[in-house]
């Protein structure tokens, strides 16, 4: 535990798995989201990721059906189409020998997948807009400053417009996230989301789901390129279970090594490398008195590399976390957080990354251009400081 006295209230860095598990699960109602989410609030209003208390509880209950296993499995086809549409880029790199910037590639793919999952067929209307799809601004800059916030808010009326057109059109609202969110009602009042609530939750999905998933794809490929043996084992697993065709939703579960690789990637390179909580009342954690108001930083990146819990923590070893993602030491592996506020999109993200690995590894072999692990850029998400360039050849 590391404690720093800031200008006002103390800020703690908590790195003890048991205490982390407690504040995320049993003691969750006693901790708010904290200082790390203040900037994001500017972008996402009262969306799930930043809201707290009763407002959050009701919303999470209301929207949870959109994130269940069957709902996510039903998105497998559209995710597949997005992956397939990028294959021409991979083919061109395999042809020309020109290295592929996997960070940029994963970013483009990640944005396409989340937009398609939110807006379904209406995405084509957005693509056809004069000046291009306005949501592409999200990948053009990685700064999350005031300027970004101002441009991001200009997307609100676009979401509103699509929702209004859908409602006026009548008939089914759709099986994409927008349709599911529009059709959800508060369990107690029976009321649907109001328009600003809908906009906040859609924008939350965009911010929460895009860069995180893209970073995981990029880091997974960066690791596989540097570990030829594991890449070969993955290829054998996929060829044995699925072959060269894209995997069906029912086949994904059987891809044990693929899931292990994703979990080991998330251990070494957790996209959400740090997040915060704030004590709402006095508490005791790991034997220390925690005054109400204390800001607490949780750092998956440091926690996932503690030698007390991970043997040779720097080593890429997909054997150490089971495919279920339940790590041997409780509270020592939290890429998706834990407890009631665990990431709502975890199943979605796993579906995307496992599908991507499984489909592409059968077709392509990737190797690094630059030797060694990429330098890190710990911004809002954990990204590589420089483009990760990989050489692509047909497998
Ligand atoms: C590998 C990819 C992802 C990672 C590592 C990740 C990580 C996280 C983490 C750590 C949190 C919780 C933060 C906290 O406890 O304070 C979170 C929350 C959340 N994530 Fe994800 N996420 C990923 C993908 C996604 C996707 C694809 C979606 C949407 C489709 C999504 C939607 C959300 C939402 C809505 C929350 C707020 C949940 C709540 O507080 O009720 N995430 N995510």
- CATH at 77: 1.10.630.10
The minimum-distance atom of ligand 1 relative to the CA of 337 is: 10
Q: How many CB atoms lie within 10 A of CB 1?
A: 14
Look up the domain containing 139 and give its range.
2-394
Helix (H, G, I), strand (E, B) or coil at 66: helix
**What is the pTM (predicted TM-score) of this model?**
0.95
Residues near 233 by beta carbon (within 8 Å), at least 6 away in sequence: 257
Ligand 1 pocket mutation, candidates 343, 350, 355, criterion most atoms within 8 A of CB: 343
| Residue among 359, 358, 266, 372 at smallest CA distance from 320 | 266
**pLDDT tens, 275-315?**
999 999 999 999 999 999 999 999 999 999 999 999 999 99
Contact call for residues 337 and 24 (beta carbons, < 8 A): yes
Per DSSP bridges, beta strands 389-394 and 364-368 are antiparallel
Q: Give the chain's domain count.
A: 1
Dihedrals φ, ψ of 235, to 5°?
-60, -40
**pLDDT tens, 103-159?**
999 999 999 999 999 999 999 888 888 788 888 888 777 777 788 888 888 899 999
- Residue 14: in which H helix or E strand, if any? strand 10-14
Residues near 262 by beta carbon (within 8 Å), at least 6 away in sequence: 216, 220, 350, 353, 354, 357
What are the pocket residues of ligand 1 if the criterion is a CB atom closer than 6 Å to any ligand atom?
Answer: 33, 48-49, 60, 204-205, 208-209, 212-213, 216, 271-272, 275, 335-337, 341, 343-345, 348-349
**pLDDT tens, 158-168?**
999 999 999 99
Mean pLDDT, rounded, of the chain: 93
**pLDDT tens, 40-57?**
887 888 899 999 999 999
Which residue, judged by its Cα, is nearest atom 13 of ligand 1?
Answer: 337
Gap between the Cα atoms of 204 and 119, Å rounded: 14
Which residue, judged by its Cα, is nearest atom 24 of ligand 1?
Answer: 209
| Residue among 308, 294, 307, 229 at smallest CA distance from 261 | 229
């Amino acid at each position: 535990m590391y404690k720093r006295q800031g200008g006002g209230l103390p800020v703690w860095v908590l790195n003890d798995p048991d205490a982390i598990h407690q504040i995320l699960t049993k003691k969750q109602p006693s901790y708010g989201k904290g200082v790390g989410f203040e900037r994001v609030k500017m972008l996402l209003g009262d969306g799930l990721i930043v809201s707290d208390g009763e407002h959050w509880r009701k919303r999470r209950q209301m929207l949870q059906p959109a994130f269940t296993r069957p709902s996510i499995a039903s998105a497998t086809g559209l995710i597949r189409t997005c992956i397939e549409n990028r294959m021409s880029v991979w083919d061109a790199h395999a042809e020309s020998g020109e290295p592929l910037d996997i960070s940029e590639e994963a970013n483009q793919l990640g944005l396409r997948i989340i937009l398609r999952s939110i807006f379904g067929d209406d995405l084509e209307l957005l693509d056809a807009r004069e000046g291009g799809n306005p949501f592409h601004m999200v990948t053009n800059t990685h700064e999350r400053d005031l300027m970004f916030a101002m441009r991001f808010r200009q997307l609100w009326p676009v979401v509103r417009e699509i929702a209004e057109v859908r409602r006026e059109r009548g008939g089914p609202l759709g099986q994409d996230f927008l349709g599911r969110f529009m059709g959800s009602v508060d369990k107690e009042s029976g009321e649907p989301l109001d328009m600003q609530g809908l906009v906040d939750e859609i924008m939350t999905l965009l911010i929460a789901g895009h860069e995180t998933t893209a970073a995981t794809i990029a880091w997974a490929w960066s690791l596989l390129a540097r570990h030829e043996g594991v890449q070969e084992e993955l290829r054998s697993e996929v060829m044995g279970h699925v072959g060269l065709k894209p995997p069906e939703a029912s086949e994904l579960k059987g891809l044990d090594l693929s899931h292990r690789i994703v979990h080991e990637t998330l251990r070494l390179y957790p996209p959400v490398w740090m997040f915060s909580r704030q004590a709402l009342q006095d508490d005791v954690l790991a034997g220390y008195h925690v005054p109400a108001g204390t800001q607490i930083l949780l750092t998956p990146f440091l926690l996932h590399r503690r030698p007390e819990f991970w043997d040779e923590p720097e080593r890429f070893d997909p054997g150490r976390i089971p495919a279920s993602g339940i790590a041997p030491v409780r509270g020592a592996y939290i890429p998706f957080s834990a407890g009631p506020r665990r990431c709502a999109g975890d199943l979605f993200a796993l579906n995307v990354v496992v599908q991507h690995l499984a489909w592409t590894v059968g077709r392509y072999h990737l190797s690094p251009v630059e030797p060694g692990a990429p330098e890190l850029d710990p911004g809002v998400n954990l990204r590589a400081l420089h483009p990760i360039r990989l050489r692509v050849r047909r497998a």
